[in-house]
């Protein structure tokens, strides 16, 4: 951080490039473009891929709102589809049923830190000639068949403070395509190829050098953070296995889960949540409403699994600062509620 300040290079320059290089390497993509948030990353990649008015974009109904905002920014339409009841990610059957001649792209989300069904979704995308933009905002380092590169057109990341690594605010686009990376760099930086030569109506979505230096430092710690999350999740799984009212999260075949959230399905969820709050345990509900039902979208969708999950999911703390004693306390508090 000190080095950045002393260098005087507070925005585009060596610290940004260094972070992008390290991030690309960590995520197994040749190109990374750092931007000011995950939301900006989605906005930029939608432009760079030419998604616009009249296009339909298929998104899961069970995710953070930013996943579905990007289509609106560029004048495209969201189609909300249901998710799998056990892994909480886009249901490939629902996806296939929703495809029309207007569909241009799919935005599957690796929710809570676990990859979506990459094989099935990629197969459907190929058959219908659709773009896949992976929303991996919650899942840096999540893998499918041991690879963090999900074989998509592009993947986006968020470095908001609740994520597995942070730059305060920040995000990135990762891609195999040098052309696409170049377009993203233009959309990130006012469309500027060189001074007073503009390729498009780009934004100012640059990530400052101080944030990038923070990102480089965080990336070094990320494998340890991830292992701590996975360990905490394993312990909680064991401790809660005897509670019939709780269904603990499962790591799906081929996936490496990075546990941004440890999310159970709980009977009598709201009362359990209140009980944990009284004990000052930072449990939380992600997400209480199907996206399509929010007033800001007010869209039609048949998503019974999402409706049910909105009433039953509860995330328990497993972040790297949670101690083993605290994990025991959390499990005991859950057990005491059902007793
Ligand atoms: C699934 C998902 N997509 C996109 C975003 C947007 O990221 P940001 O908050 O950095 O704009 C988030 C952030 O919480 C997210 O969880």
- Around Cβ 1, how many Cβ atoms within 10 Å? 12
Nearest atom in ligand 1 to 171's CA: 10
pLDDT at 215: 98
- Around Cβ 126, how many Cβ atoms within 10 Å? 11
129-168 tens-digit pLDDT: 999 999 999 999 999 999 999 999 999 999 999 999 999 9
- Parallel/antiparallel/unpaired status of strands 313-316 and 56-60: unpaired
Q: pLDDT tier at 10 (50, 70, 90 boundaries)?
A: confident
319: exposed, middle or buried (Cβ count in 10 Å: 0-12, 13-18, 19+): middle
Q: Is 61:292 a contact under the CB 8 Å cutoff?
A: yes
Taking the model in full, what pTM does it have?
A: 0.97
pLDDT at 247: 98
38-81 tens-digit pLDDT: 999 999 999 999 999 999 999 999 999 999 999 999 999 999 99
Percent of the chain predicted with pLDDT > 90? 96
Pocket test for ligand 1, best of 63, 140, 160 (most atoms within 8 A of CB): 160
Q: Which of these, 104, 160, 96, 111, lies nearest to 133 by C-alpha position?
A: 104
- Around Cβ 83, how many Cβ atoms within 10 Å? 24
**Cα 244 → chain centroid:** 30
**Cα 140 → chain centroid:** 8
Tell me the average pLDDT of the chain: 97
Tokens in use for 67?
């996943």
- Around Cβ 10, how many Cβ atoms within 10 Å? 12
247-272 tens-digit pLDDT: 999 999 999 999 999 999 999 999 99
Angle in degrees, 0-180, between the axes of helices 14-27 and 209-240, rounded to the nearest 10:
30
Compute the distance from residue 10 Cα to the ligand 1 centre, in Å.
25
Q: Is the pLDDT of residue 2 over 90?
A: no
Q: Is 158:166 a contact under the CB 8 Å cutoff?
A: no
Read out DSSP for 182-194? HHHHHHHBTTEEE
Compute the distance from residue 64 Cα to the ligand 1 centre, in Å.
7
Compute the distance from residue 338 Cα to the ligand 1 centre, in Å.
33
pLDDT at 324: 94
182-210 tens-digit pLDDT: 999 999 999 999 999 999 999 999 999 99
Q: Is the pLDDT of residue 113 over 90?
A: yes
Compute the distance from residue 339 Cα to the ligand 1 centre, in Å.
37
pLDDT at 190: 97
pLDDT at 63: 98
Tokens in use for 59?
């998104």
Q: Is the pLDDT of residue 4 over 90?
A: no
Q: Is the pLDDT of residue 292 over 90?
A: yes
Domains of the chain with bracketed CATH? 2-216 (3.40.640.10), 222-338 (3.90.1150.10)
Whole-angstrom CA distances from 116 to 61, 92, 111, 148, 253 are 14, 9, 8, 12, 11
310-329 tens-digit pLDDT: 999 999 999 999 999 999 99
Q: Is the pLDDT of residue 338 over 90?
A: yes
Q: Residues enclosing ligand 1, CB less than 6 A?
A: 37-39, 63-64, 66-67, 109, 135, 137-138, 158, 160, 171
Q: Residue holding tokens 């399905």? A: 265
Q: Which of these, 236, 305, 308, lies nearest to 267 by C-alpha position?
A: 308
């Amino acid at each position: 951080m000190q080095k950045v300040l002393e260098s005087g290079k507070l925005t585009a320059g060596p610290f940004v490039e260094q972070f992008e290089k390290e991030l690309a390497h960590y995520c197994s993509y040749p190109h990374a473009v750092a931007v000011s948030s995950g939301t900006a990353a989605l906005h930029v990649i939608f432009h760079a891929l030419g998604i616009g008015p009249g296009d339909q974009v298929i998104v899961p109904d069970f995710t953070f709102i930013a996943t579905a905002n990007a289509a609106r920014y560029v004048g495209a339409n969201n189609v909300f589809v249901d998710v799998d009841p056990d892994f909480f990610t886009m249901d490939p059957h629902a996806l296939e049923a929703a495809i029309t001649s207007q569909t241009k792209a799919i935005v599957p989300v690796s929710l809570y830190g676990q990859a979506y069904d990459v094989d099935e979704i990629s197969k459907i995308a190929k058959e219908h000639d659709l773009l896949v933009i992976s929303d991996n905002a919650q899942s840096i380092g999540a893998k499918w068949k041991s690879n963090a590169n999900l074989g998509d057109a592009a993947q986006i990341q968020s470095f908001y403070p609740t994520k597995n690594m942070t730059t305060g605010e920040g995000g990135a686009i990762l891609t195999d395509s040098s052309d696409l990376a170049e377009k993203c760099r233009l959309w990130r930086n006012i469309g500027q190829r060189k001074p007073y030569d503009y390729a498009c109506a780009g934004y100012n979505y640059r990530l400052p050098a101080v944030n990038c230096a923070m990102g480089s430092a965080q990336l070094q710690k990320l494998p340890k953070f991830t292992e701590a999350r996975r360990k905490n999740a394993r312990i909680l799984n064991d401790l809660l296995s005897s509670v019939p009212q709780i269904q603990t999260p499962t790591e799906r075949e081929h996936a490496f889960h990075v546990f941004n959230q440890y999310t159970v399905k709980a009977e009598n969820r709201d009362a359990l949540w209140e009980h944990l709050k009284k004990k000052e345990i930072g449990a939380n509900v992600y997400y209480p409403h199907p996206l399509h039902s929010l007033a800001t979208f007010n869209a039609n969708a048949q998503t019974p699994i999402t409706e049910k999950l909105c009433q039953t999911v509860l995330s328990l703390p497993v972040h790297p600062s949670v101690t083993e004693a605290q994990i025991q306390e959390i499990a005991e508090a859950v057990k005491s509620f059902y007793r």
